[in-house]
Amino acid sequence: MKSTNQIELTAGLFLLLGIGALIFLSLQATGGASAIGDGSYQISANFTNVGGLEEGSDVNMAGVTIGTVQRIALDDETLNAQVTLSISERYDQLPRDTSAAIYTSGLLGSQYVALQPGGLTETLADGDKILLTQSAVVLEKLISKYMFNSETEKGG
C-alpha cells in the first residue's frame, strides 16, 4: 500500500495531466484560440442572394482568411440579405471601395465571402457598409437556365 502522501501526489499529477490536455487540445485542435485572440470590427454588405453562405463562414482577401461571417439576416426594406462581416482588427486598412463576392471553394465546397480591394485611400471602419457586392452563384439556377435554353433552341 502506498503512503497517503504519494497517493495524493499521484492524484494531483493525474488531474494536472487532464487540465494540461484540456488546454493543449482547446488551443491546438479547435478554433477557440483565434476566437479569444485579438479584437475585430464589423462591416456589413447587402447581397441579393447569399446561397449557401452560413454564419461562421470565412471572409477572405487574396485567399487569406481575415474574418468570419457574423450574422445573416433579411433586410426589411430592400428584402435583400444583409450580411455582417467580422474582420480581424489587424486588417484595418481595407479601402473604402472594397467589393465583396460570395464564392464556393471547390465545386461543391463550402461558400465564403471574398473581398476585392479597391483603390481609395480612405479605409473601412466599424459599422461601414460595402456597396459593391456580387451574389452567390446558385448552381440550380445555372443548370435550369442552361437546360431551358437548350430546350427552346431545340423547339425553335
105 is a site residue for other proteins (CB under 8 A): no
Phi-psi region of 51 (alpha: psi -120 to 50; beta: other; left: phi over 0): left
* Binding residues for other proteins restricted to 59-78, rule: CB under 8 A: 65
143 is a site residue for other proteins (CB under 8 A): no
Residue 146 CB burial class (10 angstroms; 0-12, 13-18, ≥19): exposed
Give the nearest distance from C-beta 132 to other proteins in angstroms: 27
* Binding residues for other proteins restricted to 10-39, rule: CB under 8 A: 10-15, 17-19, 21-22, 24-26, 28-35
Q: How far apart are CA 110 and CA 19, in angstroms?
A: 34
Cα dihedral 41, 82, 103, 112, rounded to 10, equals 40
Residue closer to other proteins (CB basis): 31 or 155: 31
**Contacts to other proteins by CB under 8 A:** 4, 7-8, 10-15, 17-19, 21-22, 24-26, 28-35, 58, 65
